[in-house]
Chains A and B, each alone.
Chain A
Amino acid sequence: AAGVIQSPRHLIKEKRETATLKCYPIPRHDTVYWYQQGPGQDPQFLISFYEKMQSDKGSIPDRFSAQQFSDYHSELNMSSLELGDSALYFCASSLGLNPLTGAYGYTFGSGTRLTVV
């Protein structure tokens, strides 16, 4: 079965550079969520999109932005990177308003490991 695809798997950037992370949800899933997980930390919710509109916002820095495109894939753009942005970034997808599929929870991708040097 198709899963959530994230690219790239690994990314190394220097301070003050920009990074773009991509997420391709499971086909027919209309909701995408982004999470950040620092070393030794639990996943922290950043932002979500339902039907290409922002649906919720968590502790996402102003330097970060995200969007969901017409094909439902999503991109997380990170500018002016700081050392503290080094983390695993997970994307998850679900059928947002489907009472059946939504009942089985989200499906997470394998993550993008961002290292800022």
Chain B
Amino acid sequence: DAKTTQPPSMDCAEGRAANLPCNHSTISGNEYVYWYRQIHSQGPQYIIHGLKNNETNEMASLIITEDRKSSTLILPHATLRDTAVYYCIVRPGTGTASKLTFGTGTRLQVTL
């Protein structure tokens, strides 16, 4: 699986957009970008995934660069409950039983 690089920590004011970057320069053609988050000691939670097009759901938006070497997760209006560690993970396909390999992630602190 391709490796990812994320900043270790970020701060965001409540109500503002949180933009979390991820570099995955060695991503291959069949690998998707997944984002998960882990709120303190809880099980990781799926947020969003994409292949090459930008994606949006009720939780977040995912912007993937045209060369697919980096992406940005956007939480449009961060709240205190969004404080968590955010993991960017690349893995093959959507129909395979392949594992998720967690890197170090970004610790997002949302403040008043």
Task: Please report A residues at the B interface, Cβ cutoff 8 Å.
Answer: 4, 31, 33, 35, 42-45, 48, 50, 55-56, 58, 88, 90, 92, 94, 96-99, 102-111, 113
Contact = CB atoms under 8 A, between A and B. Distances in A.
Contact of A105 (B42, B49, B85): B49
Nearest to B43: A108
B94 A103 contact: yes
Given A33-B99, A42-B103, A45-B101, A108 B44 contact: yes
9 contacts: A42-B85, A42-B105, A92-B43, A98-B95, A99-B95, A102-B95, A108-B44, A111-B42, A113-B41
Interface residues of B, number: 25
Interface of B: 34, 36, 38, 41-46, 49, 85, 87, 93-105
B5 to A, nearest CB: 14
A45 B101 CA distance: 7
Contacts of A102: 93-97
Given A42-B103, A42-B105, A48 B44 contact: no
Contacts of A104: 46, 49
A17 to B, nearest CB: 23
B49 to A, nearest CB: 6
Contact of B97 (A42, A94, A110): A94
A48 B95 contact: no
Given A105-B36, A111-B41, A44 B102 contact: yes
Contacts of A43: 38, 44, 102
Nearest to A99: B95
7 cross-chain pairs, A with B, having the tightest CB-CB distances, nearest first: A96-B97, A108-B43, A105-B46, A99-B95, A103-B94, A42-B102, A50-B97
Contacts of A105: 34, 36, 46, 49
B102 A99 contact: no
A9 to B, nearest CB: 11
A56 B101 CA distance: 12
B43 A48 contact: no
